[in-house]
Structure 1
Amino acid sequence: MGFGSSALARPTSDDPQHLERLGRVVLVDRPEAPNPGWVAAWCGDVGYELVRTPAVPDALLDGGPHGDAWPEVAMQLGALSAAGSSVLLRRTALHERHGMRVVAAINDLTDDETVLTEAVACATALGASLELVHGVPLSFGERSVGLDDAVGRGLALLQSGREYLAGLAGATATGISTRLLRVRPHELVNELLDADLLVVGGARTEPAGRLGLVALSAMQHAPCPVLLTPRRPR
């Protein structure tokens, strides 16, 4: 289910410099692979420039790099994200079909504003549903002090994200679902994820910006294409 063209508005921000940096999508894919049609449609609708990276290790596209190759790859993609680009890691081919699902992992609405707006734009381009997910660690234990607060905060966060997107799309939240899971945030994005596209926050747009644990785990373990969206500076 799509969300209508009004969902493709550029992210709102009170930081003009932050907004100016949100205008490029870097596609990480095999050199011989054509640009996916839905990516070109997404970039065209929102006015983004679509570029491709130089060759990357095959291990990155075949299931996640390990050993000596991994730190260098993570640093390169982190630098692209910190420079303000959205980075699309197309590890596996995304076959457009009926009933597709885009999953967006969120932890904080201020930090993850671009996660929400880019996720709904991609869902629109794919004609897919969108699910917002948030994790509360099992380490709290069922009787731990603070568990109820953490669960309540997570549920409120997901509801706020859904309401934000419903307002952005200018329609009801039909087609946008939410799910709270009892896992650590980086465990949301592992090989058990049921998604056709995963959207997570990338690096902060600042000189020292680097990828966090969720983004690194997604690049290594998610069984689907991963979109890293830049986050605003601290």
Structure 2
Amino acid sequence: MTQLDPSAEVDRIATSAKLGRKRDHTRDPEILDAAIDVLAENGFDGMTIDMVAARAKAGKATIYRRWPSKADLVLDAVACMKAGEIDFERLPDTGTLRGDLVAMIRPRSIEEAERKMRIMAGLFGMLSSSPELADAAHAAIIEPRAAVNRMFLRRAIERGEISRDCDVEMLANLIPAMAAFRLLLERKPVDAEFLVSLIDGVLLPAAGLDRRPSA
């Protein structure tokens, strides 16, 4: 039986989620946080590097030395935000695929959900004007959670819960892709009820499991 190497997989997830950030700079977190705030408040088209520099109390030249364009800054900021939502060192291991997936759902306040929608709307504006950035946006939005789902699915295969013939890649991307669609295009919040409905009504049946655990 093939043994998983969780530590190696965690390292791979964390590295890919950072989208190739440059050298470690002490001001990076403040600049990236400021970029997210400005994006949420003004959208991509209304956002400027001057606004981010003023919010972060950083020089405009400092930002451009690290991120050559506004799009690069936004993608890096969103990637780091998404990576920060997942504690890669403490992923749940409940003993079931459904339990692991549900355990990853984090309660959100109404304010946080609305802010997330504004951030995703800003990203949609960026992709509308720069469709060539779609792959980078996928890496920032979809891949962090898909990588975790991939681990859960492989773990479920190893314990014999689901078939080795299931399409791990498709299943891993299913929920984050549908959540991104809901945020970006439908402009609706991704709440716990929506995520559980995807787990029970879409992912588990696609993996060959019952919608709900046995009573």
Normalising to structure 2: TM-score of the pair? 0.27
Q: Which of the pair is proportionally richer in helix?
A: 2
Query: Which structure has the greater CA radius of gyration?
Result: 2
